[in-house]
Chains A and B, each alone.
Chain A
Amino acid sequence: MTWPIKILQWFDARLKVRESIWPMATHPIPKSAAGPMGWWYIFGSASMTLLMVQIVTGIALALVYVPAADKAYGSLLYLNYEQPLGWFMRALHYYAGSGMMVMVFLHMTQVFLHGSYKYPRELTWVIGVFLLLCTLGMFFTGQVLRWDPDAYWGIAVGGSMAGRVPIIGPQVVDLVLGGAIIGGDTLSRFFTLHVFVIPGALLSLLSVHLWLVLKRGISAAPKPGEKVDPATYDEAYEKEVHKDGVPFLGEAFIKDAFMSALVVVVVVVIAAIVGPKGPSGPPDPTLSGANPRPEWPFLWLFGLLSLSPPAAETFLMLVFPVLLVGVLLLVPFVSNRGERSPSRRPVAVLSVIVLATLFAVLTYQGATSPWSPKMEAWSGDPIPVRIVKDSTPLQMQGSLVFQNKNCRNCHALDGIGGTRGPDLTTIGSRLNSGQLIDQVSNGTPGGGNMPAYGKQVSAFEMAALVEFLVSLRPEGQPPAGFSAKP
């Protein structure tokens, strides 16, 4: 026996790898999960690989980043511009995290579409839901560590939401902020959550998740008509795995490895090309121009909140997310038997299509946020020359009132300006002078979207403004007539 083998045997006699890890790596899996259908099974391991990248880049960043409110911003700039490859570590940490989020969503969608969560893998799904929450939690707390205005105001919004919890709201706010104001205590606790608490929970849950995958085996590729029946499933699965099964360390592992390597290459390339995200500016809450946006996994909720009526807001903030998680947790208990193939589960397929569409539309809405006023439009977006070219002096004066009174922050002309209110390019053909005076003076009835300008403009300004608004019509179109109603 040669000496390298002797050394290996010495270690194995103590570590017992050959009788513990090796059987795990080579445990038999259904043949179908290793064949062409095995390409559906690659998202879980890709998520895990990106998690490893996150751990490594996270440790690298922690070597330089200072989690103190007065130094964090400076240390981020140092990472971006001074520390060799600091910019790359920050970029990779962000894009690998985003990639992990995407992989987790894909993994979950695949497991849902293939009915893999059904008997006997209900607990694997439940743990998976908590792993999703951990990943989202990492995203949210990570954004806070970017200690810029987005981070600061993101915490402010989170604090205001927490403040709506009935009765104990103020105490919850204190716990979220770690003190009376957003500052050093706040950053320290989000750092603790991001670096110790959530990763600890995530890794613990992940080991249970993997344990379950090993103990209950990976599901075979679904076949239409092959129904799950808890009474007979175990026996049939054992038979399938032990008769026709193949070791995991084979085709299936190579597919996993290929996908993992591919996603790593993709996030590295994106990180190298796009570079680090932020910090967008110093975390000084007295600087104006803050326009906080949540990170992309939360944009849909931001959109949903903004598009819903105020009466539903508190419910959507505090109860709806809990309900959503509750529904996810109940999935394997509501349907834990029967068909697994998506071709026999139209409701499952339809749910995925509807939810994915909702997610995409709300994310788009959240990203563009047409409900937010454009705070600089009144001074930054001049009235298009086309509109004032042949204006009378009074109309010209009205256009000045229109700019000065910040109307442009919410109302666009020729598509330029805020989009919170309607574009007023052709308002003169829709409302007559009386209706315009009423609208401007009183705003939206009941304090809706438009404030009442009655006390904010003088009679002269009103006359000029209305003259200007009435002139805003497509060429050759007459002004709006008077309503037939009394």
Chain B
Amino acid sequence: MATGESEVSEPTTTPPPGEPIARRTLFQRLFLGATVLIGLAAATVLIIPFVLYLAGPMRKRNAPWISLGPLNKFPKGETRLATFDNPLGTPWDGMTANTGVYVRNVGKDEKGNENFLVFSINCAHLGCPVSWFPQSGLFMCPCHGGVYYENGERASGPPPRGLYHCEWQVNGGNLEVQAPHYPTLQNTLRG
């Protein structure tokens, strides 16, 4: 204690301080140090939960499977728009939770299983909703004219890739799709 006391009182340039004043200076500085420490602690305990709260939207969610209905709703060689309420949002999403996917029945594979292509409605360019034109067998985007073939491959226009594919499965005679998040170039709906 004695050495610490002389150390902290050294910087004062005023005439040699009396014992009570040196003690007072020491306590003042200790108190200042304590204030800085508790201030840092206060900032930390405030900031950490705040940052974690704000980062909430980045958490991983389990995407549930959603039934699009019986397989016979999707005739072979045709593309149909299937809509459902996306459970990935909030209970107060209202009609914004309405989600559309294009389902194309591409027929049975060699094992006799039905095969489908399920596309997100969002254009791979900037996310606008593509429309299906059965007459020409093309998807067209109203924003910048991206065009895709019936198998989802890019046909023309600015999209850097084909349509986003959704994960699908057949479960008990129903076609199911994994609830799609909003797809973007680095966060597609596969894997």
Contact = CB atoms under 8 A, between A and B. Distances in A.
A456 B135 CA distance: 9
B61 to A, nearest CB: 6
> 7 closest pairs, A vs B, by CB?
A70-B94, A163-B184, A451-B155, A183-B89, A184-B90, A180-B181, A170-B187
Given A409-B140, A443-B155, A71 B145 contact: no
Contact of A451 (B63, B122, B144, B147): B147
A290 B186 CA distance: 25
A425 interface: no
B105 interface: no
B103 to A, nearest CB: 13
B86 interface: yes
Interface of A: 68-71, 73, 152-153, 156-157, 159-164, 169-171, 173-175, 177-185, 187, 282-286, 288-292, 306, 310, 313, 371-373, 375, 378, 404-406, 409-410, 420, 443-444, 447-453, 455-456
A156 B127 contact: yes
Given A160-B184, A179-B57, A451-B147, A153 B89 contact: no
A319 B129 CA distance: 26
Contact of B128 (A69, A156, A444): A156
Nearest to B83: A286
Contacts of A162: 184
A175 B58 contact: yes
B145 A373 contact: yes
Interface of B: 54-55, 57-58, 61, 63, 81, 83, 86, 88-100, 121-122, 125-129, 131, 133, 135-138, 140-145, 147, 149, 154-158, 160, 180-182, 184-187
B128 A290 contact: yes
A156 B90 contact: no
A291 B184 CA distance: 20
Contacts of B99: 181, 285-286
Contact of B86 (A159, A181, A449): A181
A69 B96 contact: yes
A422 B91 CA distance: 47
Contact of A371 (B57, B88, B122, B144): B144
A156 B155 contact: no
Given A70-B92, A156-B182, A157-B143, 5 more contacts: A163-B186, A174-B57, A179-B88, A291-B143, A451-B138
